[in-house]
Amino acid sequence: MPEQTHTRYGSNIGQPLTRREGLLKVTGSARFAADNHPEGMLYAALATSTIARGRVTFLDVAAAKAHPGVVDVIVPGNTPQLAFDPDDKDSPFTFRMDVLQNDRVRYANQAIAVVIGETLEAATEGAALLAPRYDVEPARMGLDGNETFVPPAVGVGEPPDIDNGGDVDAGLAGSAKRVDATYETPAQYHNAMEPHAIVAQWDGDKLTVDTPSQALTMGQGRIAQLFGIDPANILIRSPFLGGGFGSKALMKGPQILGIMAARRTGRPVKLVLRRDQMFGPVGHRAPTRQTVRMGTDDSGQIQAIHHHNHTATSSFDDFFEPAANLSHTLYAAPALKTTHTAVRLDTGTPLFMRAPGEASGSIALESAVDEMAEACGMDPLAFRLKNYAEVEPISGKPFSSKNLRECYEQGAAAFGWSKRAAAPRTMRDEAGLLVGWGMGTATFPALIFAADARATLKADGTGLVEIGAQDMGQGAWTALAQIAADGLGLDIDQVEFRMGSSDLPNGGIAGGSGHTATAGNAIHAAGGDVIAKLARLATDDQRSPLFGAGNAGVVARDGRLVRRDDESRGESYADILARAGLPALEGQGSAGADQDAQKRYAMHAHGAVFAEVKVDPELGQIRCTRLVGAFAAGRVINPRLVRSQYFGGMIWGVSFALHEEAVMDHRSGRPLNANLGEYHVPVNADIPSLEAILVDEKDSIINALGVKGVGEIGITGTAGAIANAVYHATGVRVRQAPIRLERLLGDLPLAAE
């Protein structure tokens, strides 16, 4: 933890400010990537494969070129030369991509050509006129029927099999009560409102791109690698993202194709994916089949947990949904192990999607815990408290902070959990609907990545803070500006805050729920660096009323430095700079993981989610009517935005439990519902009364600001809570997400029969 050289008082952190860019967004004046139209711009449209596996044998390029307005057609063989093989991999974050390097088709909706036109319409019709022919090979689909193997690693580099040294089989054999249940989750696609889009323009070997990116510096590095140019020659502008959810964390093939199209034509080019084209090349959440084996003694104390996940990746790259690993942190178990297996399918490569691993793993584990509690004859909350992990079960490490007990307590109280009937299918509302109450525990690791920031104090005493951070819609423009202002001891209106561009200091990744911790700590440290320099100027200067106070004897507040021992003695930032003859004072800050603390502590955010569903007793229609979540995630920078993140996560949990599913045709390998009409996410009518409780939690170990992440945790816990509520309402345990009414119907006879 960095040493605090002085004290800064800020009134900005902790305030529920509204989004600073909100007016721009609601008036349509926020400029998203596809809103850019540089002079002379052309439009590129992808032609995408209609098969999932095989080779392209023919494209009617002549027909496309003959179409009025078509300028160029890029196919394998006439692409600009790349400096790095797109099928090479030099890090776990380098994912193989399809940029017309050959005629192979590896999944449905893969790019097989790019048509460039003077208008979007010309390019689009040109792409349709290519009328491809193929050598088709049978698609390999589904979790069965293909060779199962143990992946070399899951997630980004975790071992596939992990245990805590306990003997799981012996633990299960010796258990008085056991659960052995298998849960399935389907493939899901990120489907951010804003599709992947790029506007690329070259000027010699200099490249400017407007594209949504959750990781500007990484994106810059990837483009530089592929095109063999200096990263410093690449400017990526990404002031706003219309959602990312992980799918915009890495440069994807279509974005590279847009840059290639600009290279080839020598003109600026815009390429925007159609919704159906997002079901393939830009990642998805892989399907899982998870088996949880769990056993307890007579008192309900867990003796052993084995969480196994069987998942899928693409035929040509590795990303394995680390779903079982969620079990590492939540419930105390003397014997605990997680294992993974996988198959290779003819789909695009899966990728991290909001709470990757945790979301899928949570619905399985929380359902299994509910089944275990019932087997023990215990209330689900009492069972969780009985098996509360005082140390991280997989590692034995203490938690840097863990206020989960308080989450359980506050959430249960707000929900009214104590009035829950123990037996399923015994609660009804006044209209006769079956009522179910279920709960789940939420958890997400508290991550932090490397980042740098720059803070400048100007002659007039106002500040400028700069960082290449990214706002995916989570509110970084606001929350980070609050931190920036407090870092400089200024009011937020006295600070100009710049972010969202790759020519600013590396803001790290907006992902892993780590962006506020990452960028925020870098920003705060940069402010601290400026104030330390300023304090030195004053306290070393005999003309200053602060002379001799020493750095630690000075407090920065409201644009002034004052003596800690006598706050009436002080002077303004502007006066200090003026006397020193300085036009500005610049400071640097950085953030990153504290390796020592990470070795010693487990770091996670926690929460408890309580769900009510109502189910028609005959027709099986399920409606989630109430969700209460209580979360402890360290220091809250902006309660309004944090609550909004929890709501977003909880709504995603509704989606996971009841709606989302990519419907695949196993013969053709094609996703059939590749549009937002048929790929269901909840609409307003599906979203219940939501309550998110912000539970106090102080963590002096995790990072200087004491911030954990809030972006993904809301999904975990929620999906399982809803599944458990459906069971409680109906007495029917559905172990397959999403829970569809036909999975209940057989057990819901007509009342009169």
Partner 1 sequence: MNRFDYIRAESVADAVKAKASDSQARFIAGGTNILDLMKYDVERPTRLVDITRLPLAEIAERPDGGLRIGALVSNAKLAYDERVRQRFPLLSSAILAGASAQLRNAASTGGNLLQRTRCYYFYDTATPCNKREPGSGCPAIAGVNRIHAILGTSEHCIATHPSDMCVALAALGATVEVEGPGGARSIAFGDFHRLPGATPEVDTTLRADEIIVSVDVPAQDYGQHYTYLKLRDRLSYAFALVSVAVALKVDGGAVTEARIALGGVAHKPWRDEAAERLLVGRPAGLDAFKAVADHILAPAVGRSQNTFKIGLARKAIIRALSQAAAGTPQSQVDKRIQ
The residue ranges that bind partner 1 (CB under 8 A) are: 50-51, 68, 108, 121, 124-125, 128, 431, 433, 614, 616, 618-621, 623, 658-659, 663, 665, 667-668, 670, 672-673, 677-678, 680, 682-686, 740-742, 745-746, 750, 752
Distance, in Å, from the CA atom of 638 to the CA atom of 401, rounded to the nearest integer, reads 20
Please give the structure tokens belonging to residue 140. 């390999």
* Closest CB 70 distance from partner 1, rounded Å: 12
In terms of Cβ atoms closer than 10 Å to its own Cβ (0-12, 13-18, 19+), residue 205 is exposed
- Residue tagged 């005493």 (tokens): 461
Please give the structure tokens belonging to residue 363. 């619905």
- Residue tagged 């980004």 (tokens): 156
Closest CA to 41 of 200, 211, 194, 256: 200
Distance, in Å, from the CA atom of 219 to the CA atom of 245, rounded to the nearest integer, reads 16
Q: Any residues with CB less than 8 A from the CB of 572 and at least 6 apart, and which? A: 461, 559, 560
* Closest CB 437 distance from partner 1, rounded Å: 18
- For residues 606 and 670, which CB has a smaller minimum distance to partner 1 in the complex? 670
Helix (H) / strand (E) element for 598: namely: helix 595-600
Distance, in Å, from the CA atom of 506 to the CA atom of 519, rounded to the nearest integer, reads 9
* Closest CB 317 distance from partner 1, rounded Å: 24
Beta bridge partners of 441: 608
Q: What are phi and psi of 213, to 5 degrees?
A: -140, 135
Distance, in Å, from the CA atom of 627 to the CA atom of 609, rounded to the nearest integer, reads 7
According to DSSP, the β-strands at 177-185 and 288-296 are antiparallel
* Closest CB 279 distance from partner 1, rounded Å: 11
- For residues 534 and 658, which CB has a smaller minimum distance to partner 1 in the complex? 658
* Closest CB 379 distance from partner 1, rounded Å: 28
Cβ atoms of 404 and 440 closer than 8 Å: no
Q: Any residues with CB less than 8 A from the CB of 597 and at least 6 apart, and which? A: 1, 400, 603, 701, 702
Closest CA to 287 of 347, 243, 328, 245: 347
* Closest CB 674 distance from partner 1, rounded Å: 8
Distance, in Å, from the CA atom of 489 to the CA atom of 17, rounded to the nearest integer, reads 17
Cβ atoms of 437 and 626 closer than 8 Å: no
- Annotation says 712 is catalytic: yes
In terms of Cβ atoms closer than 10 Å to its own Cβ (0-12, 13-18, 19+), residue 496 is middle
DSSP 96: -
Closest CA to 470 of 488, 447, 455, 451: 451
* Closest CB 732 distance from partner 1, rounded Å: 14
- For residues 115 and 707, which CB has a smaller minimum distance to partner 1 in the complex? 115
Length of the chain: 753
- Residue tagged 């170990």 (tokens): 701
- For residues 423 and 752, which CB has a smaller minimum distance to partner 1 in the complex? 752
Distance, in Å, from the CA atom of 126 to the CA atom of 461, rounded to the nearest integer, reads 57
* Closest CB 122 distance from partner 1, rounded Å: 9
Please give the structure tokens belonging to residue 265. 């034509």
Q: Per the residue annotation, which of 321, 660, 691, 712 is the catalytic one?
A: 712
- For residues 187 and 326, which CB has a smaller minimum distance to partner 1 in the complex? 187
Please give the structure tokens belonging to residue 278. 């997002």
* Closest CB 68 distance from partner 1, rounded Å: 8
Distance, in Å, from the CA atom of 194 to the CA atom of 242, rounded to the nearest integer, reads 5
Q: Any residues with CB less than 8 A from the CB of 61 and at least 6 apart, and which? A: 73, 75, 113, 130
Distance, in Å, from the CA atom of 348 to the CA atom of 211, rounded to the nearest integer, reads 21
DSSP secondary structure of 218-285: HHHHHHHHHHT--GGGEEEE-S--S--TTTTSS--HHHHHHHHHHHHHSS-EEEE--GGGGSSTT--B
DSSP 580: H
Q: Any residues with CB less than 8 A from the CB of 563 and at least 6 apart, and which? A: 545, 546, 549, 553, 554, 555, 569, 570
- For residues 215 and 433, which CB has a smaller minimum distance to partner 1 in the complex? 433
* Closest CB 737 distance from partner 1, rounded Å: 13
- For residues 349 and 655, which CB has a smaller minimum distance to partner 1 in the complex? 655
3-state DSSP assignment of residue 347: coil
Distance, in Å, from the CA atom of 576 to the CA atom of 588, rounded to the nearest integer, reads 20
- For residues 144 and 665, which CB has a smaller minimum distance to partner 1 in the complex? 665
- For residues 391 and 745, which CB has a smaller minimum distance to partner 1 in the complex? 745
Cβ atoms of 518 and 524 closer than 8 Å: no
- For residues 91 and 621, which CB has a smaller minimum distance to partner 1 in the complex? 621
Beta bridge partners of 294: 179, 305
Distance, in Å, from the CA atom of 580 to the CA atom of 462, rounded to the nearest integer, reads 16
Distance, in Å, from the CA atom of 122 to the CA atom of 44, rounded to the nearest integer, reads 9
* Closest CB 205 distance from partner 1, rounded Å: 36
* Closest CB 619 distance from partner 1, rounded Å: 6
- For residues 165 and 432, which CB has a smaller minimum distance to partner 1 in the complex? 432
Q: What's the angle, vertex CA 167, arms to CA 162 and CA 172, rounded to 5?
A: 110
* Closest CB 124 distance from partner 1, rounded Å: 6
- For residues 393 and 669, which CB has a smaller minimum distance to partner 1 in the complex? 669
Which residue type does 4 have? Q
- For residues 141 and 326, which CB has a smaller minimum distance to partner 1 in the complex? 141
The catalytic residue positions are 712
